[in-house]
Every structure is written in C-alpha cells, then in structure tokens.
Amino acid sequence: MAQVEQEWWLADDLVSEEDRDLVSLVVHSLNFDISKARAFAVAVLEEVDDNEAAVQVNELLGTLE
C-alpha cells in the first residue's frame, strides 16, 4: 500500500474491527479489482444519498489509469 503523507485521511475514520472486517470482505468480494473498488466507492456514496460527492469522486476516479 502506498504511503500517504497527509495529516487527514478519511479511511482513518474506520477504526472498529467491524469496519476493517467489512472493508476486507468487500475487497475480497471484488477480487481486488481496482475498477470495481472505485465503482463500489461511488455506489456507496449514491446509496447514502451523497450524490454531490458521488459525482465528484466519479469524475476524479475516471481520470485515473
């Protein structure tokens, strides 16, 4: 995993063992497929009705290789 040199990282908000287990379960379910993981991130934002963030994340992730 790449080291991120930031003081604030959203993934750090997932602190419980259950949160980490859920992330692991999703990653395994998606077969470690990066494109599917990106699509999942957008889908989660849509599911919680954070459509503005979903659009922004979709646009950003769509620019990555």
Q: Helix 34-47 and helix 17-29: axis angle, to 10°? A: 130
Number of domains in the chain: 1
The two tokens of residue 11 are 């993934």
Domain that holds residue 42: 32-65
- pTM of the full predicted structure? 0.81
The encoded tokens of residue 18 equal 């259950």
State the pLDDT at residue 2: 59
Residue 36 lies in a domain: yes
Residues 6+ apart with CB under 8 A from 54: 42, 45, 46
Contact 54, 42 (CB under 8 A): yes
Residue 11 lies in a domain: no
Q: pLDDT tens for residues 3-51?
A: 656 678 888 999 999 999 999 999 999 999 999 999 999 999 999 999 9
